[in-house]
Amino acid sequence: MPRILGTPHWPQFSLHRFTFQAAKVAASANLAMTVTATDATSGTLGINGIVLPFAGSIVRAAWNWSGAITGGTFTLTPTLNGANISVAKLIASALATQNGLVAVDGQEPGARFAAPTSAGVPVLLGVNLVTTSGFLPAGSLDLSVDVYVLLENVQL
């Protein structure tokens, strides 16, 4: 579920956090992470994307594994409409750290997205996770990823 973090000095901007998760991540995984919802029966929803109702930018991604990675690496890539973004600063690439974050300025080209079209075609935010064949402990670690999005021109 989105959590509004607030930007009182810039009311036309709104910073939101969206949480994605993956359970018991395997070696050689290549998957779209699912949306976390604390009120869902299983703790997750069966969806992989968040509808973004306004134009804006992805500005941060933070991750936390449930334990230490003892072998191999992982790569986390935010997605827009199912396609990996190309902004290297927002891609956690070939890492073995238990937790961390990547960040860019809100004006970074490639991290920005347009508002939905007038025909109601949404922009979907997601996260792809890839692990190497040597990823350990395979099938034992859970992952939570928070993606921070700055929505702009928010007028209700």
Provide the 3-class DSSP secondary structure of residue 91. coil
Q: How far apart are CA 146 and CA 134, in angstroms?
A: 25
pTM of the model: 0.86
- The whole-number average pLDDT for the span 5-23 is 74
Higher pLDDT, 113 or 1: 113
Per residue in 25-43, pLDDT tens?
Answer: 999 999 999 887 666 566 5
User: What string of DSSP letters covers 99-126?
Assistant: EEEEE--TT-TTTEEPPPPTT-PPEEEE
Do strands 74-80 and 123-131 pair parallel, antiparallel, or not at all (unpaired)?
antiparallel
Q: Can you name the residues that pair with 84 across neighbouring β-strands?
A: 79
pLDDT in tens, 120-130: 788 999 999 99
User: Token pair for residue 56?
Assistant: 């804006």
Domains of the chain, by residue range, sit at: 3-151
CATH of 3-151, one of 3.10.450, 2.60.120, 3.40.50, 1.20.120: 2.60.120
Q: What is the pLDDT of residues 77-108, one digit of tens each?
A: 999 999 999 999 999 999 999 999 999 988 88
What single-letter amino acid sits at 118?
S
Beta bridge partners of 16: 4, 149
Which backbone phi and psi does 82 adopt, to 5 degrees?
85, -5
| Confidence at 10, pLDDT banded by 50, 70, 90 | low
Q: Are 72 and 65 in contact (CB under 8 A)?
A: no
